Structures are given as C-alpha cells and as structure tokens.
Amino acid sequence: MDISTIIILVVVIGSVVYVISIYNNLVSKRNTYKNAFAQIEVQLKRRYDLIPNLIETAKGYMQHEQQTLTKVIEARNAAANMLKDLAQHLTPDQVRKFSEAEQTLTGAMGQFNVVVENYPDLKANQNMMQFAEELTSTENKVSRARQFYNDAVTDYNNFRQSFPPVFFANMFGHSQDAGLLEFEDSAAIQQAPKVSF
C-alpha cells in the first residue's frame, strides 16, 4: 500500500466519522428539545388542572361575572386540547398555533385577575389564596421550562443551519427548524404602554 492510498483512506474514514457525528448531534439536539417540551407539558397540565379549581372557588363570589369565568374555561380547554395535539406533532406550525392559544388563555386569566380585585372577600378566601399561590408557582415553573425549551430549540436550529450540517440535515430527516414557544404577543410587548390621567 502506497502513501497516497493511505492518505485517501484516512480522509475517507475521517469524512465518514465526521458525517456520523453530524447525524448524532442532530438527533441528540432534537431529543433535547423534545425532552424540554415534555417538561413544559408536565407543568402546563398542572396549570390546566388548577384553573378549574380557581374558577370554581370564584364562582360563588362572582355571580355577575359569568362571562369572564366562561372565557377563562374556554381558553383553558382550547389550550389543553392544543397541548395534546402538540405533544403528538411538535412542528413549528403546531407550536405557533399553541402559542396563540396560550396567549388567549393568558389574556383571559389577566381579565379574571382584574375582576378578582373587585371582590375583597374572594381575595381573602383561603382556597382562593392557595390556588392562586399554586398557580403562580406553576407559572414560574412553566416559564423556566419554556426558557429551557427555547434554548434547546435555538441550539438545534443553530446547529442544523450551520455549515456543513446544513448540507446533511435534509438527508437525515431534519428538514425544518424547530419552533420557539412564545406565550406573549411580541407586537403588544414592543408597544409603549398607554397612560392617561
């Protein structure tokens, strides 16, 4: 065997090993963001379980606020159903639809919290305080889990789009970027708050 054959063999073996490492990195990074989503799912299911208890506690006090309570439950049910779909099909389009459902729920919960302020007896109710505290704790866990998920998605997308993995990603079944999970309306966040006296 001459030296040129050995060099060609080393280059070929090195290239194969490098392509295998690209494949393994793509799989590892995809599994990381899917696992991160599973952690969000756990916290969101807890959140969705707490909301009906919170609403049930408030019903007795908020006789004239049925529309607000109904909006919260409808938004919660829509988001919970989207979560089930998303767990099966974690595609960027499904992530976007789920984000919209979560924005609707967040808006309904915000409206609910504003209405609760008008009922001091409700705010002082032990059950209400306990559910509100658990919901706040769960919201914080969701926020942390979402941040971890978005970091994992960004890492995956960055690797998938970089050179040379971009040439192999489609061939290995990684044809599209993963979707970030945003629960806030970016356009609304960027607008300056309106204050009037």
Establish if 169 belongs to a structural domain. Answer: yes
For residues 137 and 197, the model is more confident at 137
CB 85 within 8 A of CB 94: yes
**Residue 193 forms part of a structural domain:** no
Amino acid identity, residue 67? Q
Residue 108: domain span:
33-183
What is the structure's pLDDT at 121?
Answer: 85
46-100 per-position pLDDT tens digit: 999 999 988 988 888 887 788 899 999 999 999 999 999 888 888 999 999 999 9
Residue 66 lies in a domain: yes
- Please give the tally of structural domains in the chain: 1
Confirm whether 14 is domain-assigned: no
pTM of the model: 0.80
Tens digits of residue pLDDT in 93-145: 999 999 999 999 999 999 998 888 888 888 888 888 898 899 999 999 999 99
CATH number of the domain where residue 161 is located: 1.20.1440.20
**147 domain-assigned:** yes
Asked whether residue 129 is domain-assigned, the answer is yes
In a domain? residue 195:
no
User: Where do we find the tokens 């990603």?
Assistant: 169
Does the pLDDT of residue 195 top 50, yes or no?
A: no
- Structural domain includes residue 126: yes
* Rounded Cα distance, 12 and 27, in Å: 23
